[in-house]
């Protein structure tokens, strides 16, 4: 069962979220053709210093990973869905670039991801990005006290299927707090009314991962996950607090 956070803890998580939103907004502008993914990571390290926060990813060893994570960003391009390791890859016109980042502010974590279409992107790829972002919005809308985790998964998958795309089911969202990954798993599929009941004070990372083709993914040698059929993928994520007055997105600027 998810840990319940009190108001003070949620305020700290909101500050962690605001910092992350600022960093991601700045990074978004730097994602363009000709830039290496390593350069984005270097910029993210500077931005972390500017907002006075610590990376949640650097040195982190998720379950099933072969080695500790070497960067502050995950930059996953095209068929790579998540956990892409920044390196010498040069971003090209038409790429779908997913940036996933987590940070820590006074022991509390925030986690968020965006997908950016670089330059001239195919109409179908733009549609994929839009459908994934809409699926995140639908999931957040369902994140209300009294609803269930199944309601979130149902809302996400319905929205994805409406766009004609596939939900990647091997990867999930998660609870978040004083650790990057806490209980419960937040699935992107589900049945309405099933699973854990959501309560005010829960904080979860909702993160639809969507494929243009088949939903199966494979783990590569650098621990990243890519679609098995090589089709394009998109990913959006917000850290969301469930409050008595509805879902509160912590990783959105202007809150
Ligand atoms: Mg993330
Ligand atoms: Mg996450």
Span from the CA of 44 to the centroid of ligand 2 (angstroms): 17
Whether 117 has a pLDDT exceeding 60, the answer reads yes
Per-residue model confidence (pLDDT) at position 1? 46
End-to-end CA gap in the chain? 28
Radius of gyration of the CA atoms of the chain, in A = 17
pTM score over 0.95? yes
Span from the CA of 216 to the centroid of ligand 1 (angstroms): 19
Question: Where does the pLDDT of residue 2 fall: very low under 50, low under 70, confident under 90, or very high at 90 and above?
Answer: low
pLDDT averaged over the chain?
A: 96
Query: 190 Cβ partners below 8 Å, 6+ apart?
Result: 148, 149, 150, 151, 152, 153, 154, 157
What residues pair up with 36 in beta bridges, in sequence order? Answer: 90
Average pLDDT over residues 85-110: 98
Q: Which ligand is closest in space to the CA of residue 20? A: 1
Determine which helix (DSSP H) or strand (DSSP E) holds 45, and give its type and residue range: helix 37-50
Instruction: Identify the residue whose tokens are 């991601």.
Output: 24
Span from the CA of 132 to the centroid of ligand 2 (angstroms): 15
Per-residue model confidence (pLDDT) at position 62? 73
Span from the CA of 212 to the centroid of ligand 1 (angstroms): 20
| Long-range Cβ contacts of 11-15 (<8 Å, 24+ apart) | 12/105, 12/106, 12/107, 12/108, 13/108, 13/109, 13/110, 13/176, 13/177, 13/203, 13/239, 13/241, 13/250, 14/241, 14/248, 14/250, 14/255, 15/105, 15/106, 15/108
Q: 7-245 is classed in which CATH architecture? A: Alpha-Beta Complex (3.90)
CB 163 within 8 A of CB 137: no
| Long-range Cβ contacts of 138-143 (<8 Å, 24+ apart) | 139/188, 139/206, 139/208, 140/206, 140/238, 140/240, 140/247, 140/249, 141/247, 143/198, 143/204, 143/206, 143/240, 143/242, 143/247
Question: Where does the pLDDT of residue 174 fall: very low under 50, low under 70, confident under 90, or very high at 90 and above?
Answer: very high
Tokens describing residue 71? 């960067």
Whether 244 has a pLDDT exceeding 80, the answer reads yes
Span from the CA of 173 to the centroid of ligand 2 (angstroms): 6
As residues whose CB is below 5 A from the ion ligand 1, the structure lists 100, 111, 113, 237
Q: Which ligand is closest in space to the CA of residue 181? A: 2
Average pLDDT over residues 213-231: 96
Percent of the chain with pLDDT over 90: 94
Domain boundaries, the chain: 7-245
Report residue 118: phi and psi, to 5°: -90, 120
Span from the CA of 33 to the centroid of ligand 1 (angstroms): 23
Question: What pLDDT, in 10s, does the model give residues 36-57?
Answer: 999 999 999 999 999 999 999 9
Whether 24 has a pLDDT exceeding 70, the answer reads yes
Span from the CA of 224 to the centroid of ligand 2 (angstroms): 14
Spatial separation of the C-alpha atoms in residues 89 and 218, rounded to whole Å: 20
Whether 255 has a pLDDT exceeding 80, the answer reads no
3-class SS at 39?
A: helix
Q: Which ligand is closest in space to the CA of residue 186? A: 2
């Amino acid at each position: 069962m998810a840990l319940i956070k009190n108001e003070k803890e949620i305020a700290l998580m909101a500050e962690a979220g605001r910092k992350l939103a600022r960093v991601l907004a700045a990074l978004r502008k730097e994602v363009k053709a000709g830039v290496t993914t390593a350069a984005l990571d270097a910029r993210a390290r500077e931005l972390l210093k500017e907002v006075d926060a610590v990376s949640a990813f650097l040195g982190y060893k998720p379950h099933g990973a072969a080695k500790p994570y070497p960067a502050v960003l995950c930059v996953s391009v095209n068929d790579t869905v998540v956990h892409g390791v920044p390196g010498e890859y040069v971003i090209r016109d038409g790429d779908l670039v997913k940036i996933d980042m987590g940070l820590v502010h006074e022991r509390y974590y925030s986690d968020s991801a965006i997908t950016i279409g670089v330059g001239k992107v195919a109409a179908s790829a733009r549609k994929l990005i839009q459908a994934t972002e809409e699926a995140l919005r639908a999931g957040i809308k369902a994140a209300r006290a009294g609803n269930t985790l199944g309601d979130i998964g149902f809302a996400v998958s319905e929205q994805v299927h409406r766009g004609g795309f596939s939900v990647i089911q091997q990867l999930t969202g998660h609870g978040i707090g004083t650790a990057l990954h806490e209980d419960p798993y937040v699935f992107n599929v589900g049945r309405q009314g099933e699973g854990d009941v959501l309560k005010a004070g829960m904080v979860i990372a909702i993160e639809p991962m969507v494929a243009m083709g088949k939903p199966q993914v494979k783990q590569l040698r650098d621990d990243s996950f890519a679609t098995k059929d090589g089709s394009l993928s998109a990913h959006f994520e917000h850290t969301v607090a469930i409050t008595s007055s509805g879902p509160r997105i912590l990783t959105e600027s202007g809150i």
